[in-house]
Amino acid sequence: MTDVSEETQQQTAAHEEQPPTVIVDDLHVVYRLRGSGQGKGGGKGGRAGKAELRAQAAASRQERQDGGGRASRALKRLRGQQSKGGRQVHAIKGVSFTAYRGEAIGVIGSNGSGKSTILRAIAGLMPPESGRVFTQGQPSLLGVNAALMNDLSGERNVILGCLAMGMTPDEAYAKREEIIKFSGINEKGDFSSLPMRAYSSGMAARLRFAIASAKNHDVLMIDEALATGDRKFRKRSEARIRDLREEAGTVFLVSHSNKSIKDTCDRVLWLESGSLVMDGPTDEVLEAYEEFMSR
């Protein structure tokens, strides 16, 4: 089903001179839901949900250490028990592609097509049902829901975020002003000293993007982070993505804004119902996608 045009092959050949950063090989991802989501332990925050999350986190950690093992087997057992009485969503169905250093790759598709799920799988947050994901270096996922601490000021969150990304305290303090300036949260007053709960969702998203993009990442995945910013911020962040791509590894951008994708990415993956419909140069894929959406 994947459409690989001649131009894509040429483009891929050019990128093949660069080392691969992400290889996704026949990936399948399945969500399992126990019961109807109502009643004791059945909801997202219920006991089964938490147990699965704990098992998934342990499996990801363990798999990094020993390429599979006890935690993975525990997760499989848990899934076996849950699948008896639960429902499943087969979110990613046999997706394969290779990303190379220096690429900025847009991920598009209609609602529920699997865009966020595939980024979560690349980040190691969703274990594959089958297939493999190989990554060079540490992938970082920046989502609109990424946790910042609501009770702390923006400034404190900047420091914590930098420390969490592996900077030393000196580096974090040195970067603080630049990050706040880039985010633009102080453009209308001294917001950086206010608790994050006083921020609009757009301001919080801008600060998250500013923190995450202050460091060079091997693989940076951005899920809709640009959608909430205003036009001026969107321009700044698109330029930042281009810099990150030049300086470091690979950038993935999930967005419903074809303009953001066009201005930022040179390659696009188009997913529908969990399958890869097309993988190719931005203009070509967007044209086909727009035609599909207008039907």
Ligand X SMILES: Nc1ncnc2c1ncn2[C@@H]1O[C@H](COP(=O)(O)OP(=O)(O)OP(=O)(O)O)[C@@H](O)[C@H]1O
Residues that bind ligand X (CB under 6 A): 31, 33, 89, 91, 109, 111-117
Residue closer to ligand X by CB (options 12, 96) is: 96
CB of 106 to ligand X, least distance (A): 13
CB of 285 to ligand X, least distance (A): 15
CB of 263 to ligand X, least distance (A): 19
CB of 177 to ligand X, least distance (A): 34
Residue closer to ligand X by CB (options 21, 116) is: 116
Contact 257, 247 (CB under 8 A): no
CB of 233 to ligand X, least distance (A): 21
Specify the amino acid at residue 38: Q
Residue closer to ligand X by CB (options 133, 159) is: 133
Residue closer to ligand X by CB (options 26, 243) is: 26
Nearest to 122 by CA among 252, 261, 281, 257: 252
Burial class of residue 141, CB neighbours in 10 A (0-12, 13-18, 19+): buried
Contact 64, 244 (CB under 8 A): no
CB of 91 to ligand X, least distance (A): 4
For residue 88, what are the contacts with CB-CB under 8 A and spacing of at least 6? 30, 31, 32, 33
Residue closer to ligand X by CB (options 112, 202) is: 112
Residue closer to ligand X by CB (options 30, 159) is: 30
